[in-house]
Amino acid sequence: MVEQLPGMAIRRIAAYAPPTVVSNATVAERLRQEMAKLQAQLDRDLTDDEAAAFRTNDKWIRRFIGFRERRFVAPGEGTIDLAVRASRLLTNLGGTAPSDYDMIVFATVTPSCLYSPPDAGPLQHQLRIPEFVDGIPHELGGMMISLACSSWVAALRTCYAFIRSGQAERILLIGADAMSTTINWRDRAFACVLGDAGTAMELVAVPNVRDMFGPNCFWSWLGGSQADIITTPVGGSRNPLRTAEDLRDYQHCLTMDGKAVRELMVEFVGGPGTQAALHKAGLSLEHLDLVTLHEANRVLNGDIITRWRDQGFRGNIIDAGGNFGNTTSASIPLALALNPDALQVGKRFGLFGFGGGLSACFAFGLITSPIEVITEL
Amino acid sequence: MVEQLPGMAIRRIAAYAPPTVVSNATVAERLRQEMAKLQAQLDRDLTDDEAAAFRTNDKWIRRFIGFRERRFVAPGEGTIDLAVRASRLLTNLGGTAPSDYDMIVFATVTPSCLYSPPDAGPLQHQLRIPEFVDGIPHELGGMMISLACSSWVAALRTCYAFIRSGQAERILLIGADAMSTTINWRDRAFACVLGDAGTAMELVAVPNVRDMFGPNCFWSWLGGSQADIITTPVGGSRNPLRTAEDLRDYQHCLTMDGKAVRELMVEFVGGPGTQAALHKAGLSLEHLDLVTLHEANRVLNGDIITRWRDQGFRGNIIDAGGNFGNTTSASIPLALALNPDALQVGKRFGLFGFGGGLSACFAFGLITSPIEVITEL
């Protein structure tokens, strides 16, 4: 009787990015300033090896990462502000009021506050979703979901479980990150890459024949043996931030072994990971009309796509064009929102989240009804 | 055809707490030391108002919070270590190997690392769940879920959605927090309260007739208008930690307006919140044999229960007895694990998560099959 379960459709997508554009040249200049500060702190010149971590320029970033610019939040803004702006864009489309949502599923790795409050609370309040109606508490689900670079697809999969199981009919899915607040400015690896954006998606229950997904359309993987290649040395519960030196040295910020990430992820997503997920879904690469990969590095993604082409992939790439950086939980829905004309009914798509953990979460779907898109970028 | 969907049963619960016992007297002494440090820093005596934040003793904590002691992780240990220990206890029961799980759902507000890796990755690795079998990636779902004090029930609800929708058959649900790492030692409000523990639960798909829950058995609420009463001033994306002064002053640690929390939560959980959730589930307070409330403050919980008694509640309270503090994502499963004899087949239970956000997530169920329990406390 599985045929009678509800399906899930993406009804609308909204994307917002803050107005402050940060060019590759600006990133390179900031790294130069930080190198000078470190030299002053050490009272000596850096060795060539030490200096390499700071050395970059526009040409290098375009060549090895494929990014041109990114956006940064203003001081005092955080993930909640990105989420509120994106959610209000959705509301601007009309038809759905914030109080029509059963649930807020909020994907982020950069919550506005550590520990509490979870951003879902302030978002409910800022969207004026009522807390009580006629004295009776207004039911509203909420949760924060994260899985590093795979956060958004993991959250999408969770929304599918809630809708498919009849526990929700209309979900506000947020994918938002203020990654600029996590940058170690003594290390070009992430400094050249990270950016900020917020997205909001309206997901609705539909009859099973119009399901855009299906229970076999999601596939997940964990590779914790390589967890150390994208990590944050200090600031979590295992190694709390306790010294001014660690703060000064950006030890509470993200670090990455870019070479290892590239080798592992190109091999995995370009080969057995994608093949295993397609096999579960009963698909092959030839079936995919549109694909969106988590945009951590467009050169890395290009290498994955080259491998896919060799295996029969003939579809189109939907991406953010290197103009927004790696926005983590926002990256895939941002890319979709930037390419509304590609989201045609009848197109079969693949969404590929992968990165820290290591983790991967992939989703395949078919656009069964029009998707409305609104952006403020 | 809803009758034919799978249900979910709690098969096993494991709970672990680190061996370092911290008495109320030890907490009070640490606060006194911090007060002396602050006086030295300011080079003056504190005013009476300032000193009040540091003033406590065993009698005060027992009277106003109802806690006797709590456990703290050792230096270098974090949430991942609590989760690994609890998960291995589950495995020690035999019958289920770690590789039998489809998914790791990890509830915590204190991830071992900020941003990446998500603890689900290192947990998979430490449990030796394979990443590849015969060269093919081994499918394994994973995600981190948080909703402040309501994290664990929100994660339980998510597990129900995955199992009910047929997307998972056996889930490892972790509820673990190293709350000692979040303490502002200049403020007794949380310093007297927080503790560390890890729990692991095996949740399995069962025929609908043995479902311990049901789609109407979960109820959630957000009250973001009061988000500021449990918050962390600095360290999230909206106000990143940037100065040594903020670090010294514990601005990156949890803060609470205890009076406001108490007034709001006793009123809400003791009245309309619980009534709304019971109404949805088709139950009333008389139906509940066993209840477990998030153990943030046993005196506050006592006031809630007094209100419930006035409304017809005649069941038993399952709690941790004030011996483990507020362990956030571990608190409800820890209380269950501490009272195995109460978990009898045929008993109807209520689980009540509430706190920061503000948030609430409640679950009602019926024990339809024996629950195995193992602890190392």
* CA-to-CA separations, B263 to A377, B136, B266, B285, B300, in angstroms, rounded: 43, 55, 6, 21, 9
Average pLDDT score over chain A: 97
Residues of B in contact with A142 (CB under 8 A): 147, 154, 220, 222, 357, 359
The torsion defined by the Cα of A305, A306, A312 and A314, in degrees rounded to 10, comes to: 60
* Beta bridge mates, A175: A107, A199
Residues of A in contact with B118 (CB under 8 A): 146-148, 356-357, 359
- Whole-number pLDDT of residue B1: 45
For B139-178, give one letter per residue: b (16+ CB within 10 A) or e.
Answer: bbbbbbbbbbbbbbbbbbbbbbbbbbbbbbbebbbbbbbb
What percentage of chain A exceeds 70 in pLDDT?
Answer: 99
- Of A147, A182, A231, nearest to B143 by CB-CB distance is A147
Please, which pLDDT band fits residue A56 given cuts at 50, 70 and 90?
A: very high
Residue type, A180: S
Chain region(s) in chain B for CATH 3.40.47.10? 2-210, 218-367
- Residue contact B161–A148, C-beta within 8 A: no
Distance from CA of B35 to the nearest CA of A (A): 18
Residues of A in contact with B135 (CB under 8 A): 272
Query: To which H or E segment does residue B25 belong?
Result: helix B24-42
* Span A142-150, average pLDDT: 98
Burial group, residue A228, by CB count within 10 angstroms (0-12, 13-18, 19+): middle
* Span A363-368, average pLDDT: 98
Count of pairs with CB atoms under 8 A, one residue in A, one in B: 347
Q: Looking at domain B2-210, which CATH architecture does it have?
A: 3-Layer(aba) Sandwich (3.40)
* Close Cβ partners of B338 (under 8 Å, ≥ 6 residues apart): B15, B318, B319, B320, B321, B375, B377
- Whole-number pLDDT of residue A254: 97
Prediction pTM value: 0.98
- Residue contact B139–A224, C-beta within 8 A: no
* Span A297-318, average pLDDT: 97
- Of A135, A139, A223, nearest to B220 by CB-CB distance is A139
CB A233 within 8 A of CB A44: no
Paired tokens of B36:
């002396």
* Close Cβ partners of A84 (under 8 Å, ≥ 6 residues apart): A123, A126, A127, A198
- Residue contact B114–A252, C-beta within 8 A: yes
The torsion defined by the Cα of B259, B263, B266 and B267, in degrees rounded to 10, comes to: -170
- Whole-number pLDDT of residue B4: 77
d(Cα B319, Cα B98) in Å, to the nearest integer?
Answer: 28
DSSP B158-226: HHHHHHHTTS-SEEEEEEEEEGGGG--TT-HHHHTTB-EEEEEEEEEEE-GGG-SS-TTSEEEEE-GGG
Burial group, residue A307, by CB count within 10 angstroms (0-12, 13-18, 19+): middle
CB B185 within 8 A of CB A179: no
CB A172 within 8 A of CB A105: yes
Other C-beta atoms lying within 10 Å of the C-beta of residue B372 = 16
d(Cα A127, Cα A86) in Å, to the nearest integer?
Answer: 11
Average pLDDT score over chain B: 97
- Of B113, B132, B235, nearest to A232 by CB-CB distance is B113
Paired tokens of A99:
């109080």
Chain region(s) in chain A for CATH 3.40.47.10? 2-209, 218-368
- Of A126, A243, A357, nearest to B121 by CB-CB distance is A357
- Residue contact A224–B126, C-beta within 8 A: yes
d(Cα A22, Cα A25) in Å, to the nearest integer?
Answer: 8
Strand residue runs (E) in chain A = 7-16, 20-23, 69-72, 103-107, 132-133, 136-137, 141-146, 170-178, 196-206, 218-222, 230-231, 255-256, 290-293, 316-317, 348-355, 359-366, 372-376
What's the longest Cα–Cα distance across chain B?
73
Please, which pLDDT band fits residue A2 given cuts at 50, 70 and 90?
A: very low
- Whole-number pLDDT of residue B319: 97
Other C-beta atoms lying within 10 Å of the C-beta of residue B4 = 11
- Of B4, B120, B232, nearest to A115 by CB-CB distance is B232
Chain B's closest residue to A359, CA to CA, is: B121
Domain A2-209: top CATH class: alpha beta
Distance from CA of A142 to the nearest CA of B (A): 7
* CA-to-CA separations, A342 to A329, B224, B225, in angstroms, rounded: 21, 37, 40
CB A19 within 8 A of CB A71: yes
d(Cα A67, Cα A24) in Å, to the nearest integer?
Answer: 8
Paired tokens of B130:
């394979």
Q: Looking at domain B218-367, which CATH architecture does it have?
A: 3-Layer(aba) Sandwich (3.40)
CB A174 within 8 A of CB A83: yes
d(Cα B144, Cα B117) in Å, to the nearest integer?
Answer: 10
- Residue contact A221–B137, C-beta within 8 A: yes
Per-residue model confidence as pLDDT tens digits over A211-253: 999 989 999 999 999 999 999 999 999 999 999 999 999 999 9
Where do we find the tokens 């509830």? B107
Residues of A in contact with B224 (CB under 8 A): 117, 120-126, 131
Query: To which H or E segment does residue B276 belong?
Result: helix B272-281
- The backbone torsions φ and ψ at residue A313, rounded to the nearest 5 degrees and listed phi first, read -70, 130
Distance from CA of A341 to the nearest CA of B (A): 32
Q: Is the bond leading into A358 cis (omega within 30 degrees of zero)? A: yes
Burial group, residue B179, by CB count within 10 angstroms (0-12, 13-18, 19+): buried
Chain A's closest residue to B176, CA to CA, is: A237
d(Cα B183, Cα A152) in Å, to the nearest integer?
Answer: 30
- Residue contact B76–A239, C-beta within 8 A: yes
Per-residue model confidence as pLDDT tens digits over A174-221: 999 999 999 999 999 999 999 999 999 999 999 999 999 998 999 999
The torsion defined by the Cα of A307, A312, A316 and A318, in degrees rounded to 10, comes to: -40
Paired tokens of A299:
């050169």
Residues of A in contact with B113 (CB under 8 A): 231-232, 235-236, 238
Where do we find the tokens 């807020």? A104
Paired tokens of B298:
């046993």
- Whole-number pLDDT of residue A1: 44
* Span A86-95, average pLDDT: 95
**Fold of the domain built from segment(s) A218-368:** Peroxisomal Thiolase; Chain A, domain 1 (3.40.47)
- Whole-number pLDDT of residue A288: 98
- Whole-number pLDDT of residue B2: 47
Residue ranges in chain B modelled with pLDDT below 50: 1-2
CB B164 within 8 A of CB B7: yes
Asked whether the predicted pLDDT for residue A4 surpasses 80, the reply is: no
